[in-house]
Structure 1
Amino acid sequence: MADQLRNMVTPTLLHDVRKIVFPFSETEPLDFTVVSHTGFGGGGSPTLPDKVRKQVWPFLVALSRLGLDNAPDMTTFLPVPSDPDFARQAMGLQLLLDQMPRRLCRGVDCRWTNVYFDIISLKYAQKLDALPEDQKPWSWAQWKDCSTLDYWILARTTFVVPFTHRDSIETQERSLEFSEETRKTIEDMTGTKDPYRARRGEILSDIYGFPRVIRDGPPKENVTIQDYTYWVFMLMDVHKPLVDAFGRYPYRNAYFGRDDTPDEVEWFEKTGDFARPPKDARDRLKADFEAGTWTPLDEGLHM
């Protein structure tokens, strides 16, 4: 099965996935007003082309059938770090594992996104994080000869997300470190200061901050590289108060078969059931947990 997966994960597919999520030039200055409306939080992400979807979905189904204990080391699907194409393929594979399930999975299939693919995506990111600093695919050293600083920021956002998505203190701390590294780089290169620093205490303590930031959306007009960067990494940081307060993301409870605590019920009431799966999906997930089953990925409502 691992060999089958390896045949599916071609460099062409990884580049296609990367260009679908971030359809921007790697070598020309970017209009960050456009990026802001298309990238994370912008709500304008392009539809997955049918040709690519027909490659991505069979890969996800095949990977789901292996089980977490038998899932391969995904870094072995990449060229060596010294290969000029390493960082771009690594970015495509991270997006394939983290973002493609979010594009395609619906209903009970979202259990696979949160409980299965997110774990594989994080393990992959952690393996990359163990590389020497200049070999990591998000290092400027890997991109400076082939892309602009503008595009490098998009790469950085790709690789921080798996740490942010995992509701553990350890991964949240790594997400904060990652965000701060990026923030300082942009401050140094642009001669600006992140305005969100003045609200740091609030950002890292407000359990209602994440839903509010998502609903307000990203910067909308005359957006600069620093505007976009500071907002995106503030978005990453504002996840942490939920994990600090609840030890988890309440909106993922149904996917893990967890009951909501009274405090989480109050949080849902005050946020309008933010990011909570719909009741029909929750009921079906509950039935699966009670029966000790897991609806196979290709039998769920993925499209």
Structure 2
Amino acid sequence: MKPAYCFIFRVLSSLSLSGQVKSVIVSGTVRAHADKSVVPYANIVLKTAKDSVFVAGTVTNDEGRFTLANISPGNYSLQASFTGYETRSQHLFVGSLSAFLDIPALEMEESTTALAAMVITGSAEEVSYKVDIRIFPKYDDAEIIKVGNPALRPQFTNSAELGHRYSWNSGYLYSAVYHRQADGTITRISAVVPGRRLVYAVFQNAGKSYNTGLDALWNQKVSGLYAYTLSTNIYRNQINAFTVQNLYPEPNIFPADRERNENQGHAHTGSLRPKDRPTCCRAGLSHLR
């Protein structure tokens, strides 16, 4: 009888473990409390309940619906915000028995603060430095207000490079071709309000971008005293057409056409090194077009 009991125990244990999930898709609807109408383009933020660490974020669609994917089971704080409404926060427990969790509608109260109508225009520029996800404006410039984006997604880059180095007694030549493709390219969008000297700058994900180029470097030792290096870089950047929604200072849609540019840079560096002494003199010339 012991083998039978052991077999049954193992089967039940296996079924119990297989019923648990590691990630959950959370969905829901945001509505106005007054008339129960849906609230499109509301900002949704999910944070941990214990220490308020940002977990995920999104924006509701035209029907007021939102979806947050790959959420681990646990306790969270779910926040909905939109211009003209009071921010709504509620506790959310995500269990491990189902891969899908559709929560009751989040109802938002209208704000008592009146907002003046404004017209938004914008421009975009590609950035490659550290991004900001704070939700409060950053006033470090008298005319530019940097606004964080908690819904910002990571930028993923795939790259391929092929290089070759040819060496001889007094120098070498190195050349390489490369291609990089980025998904979710991080771009800064600047929105301005006509009649005011304020620029609202926010980071957004702009879709796919590409960078292709050629590098070449020639290093030559002329004598025991002098050596020089010539380098060149020819490349092309492209960012596909995209459309994003800015939520600050007012919800607005920003479209951008495909952009492409070609550039090249050249540099010449020489060094003078007396025998048995460190380098005493270095001169360089660079050119970028």
Normalized per residue, which structure has more helix?
1
Larger Rg: 2
TM (norm. structure 2) is 0.19
Normalized per residue, which structure has more strand?
2
TM (norm. structure 1) is 0.18
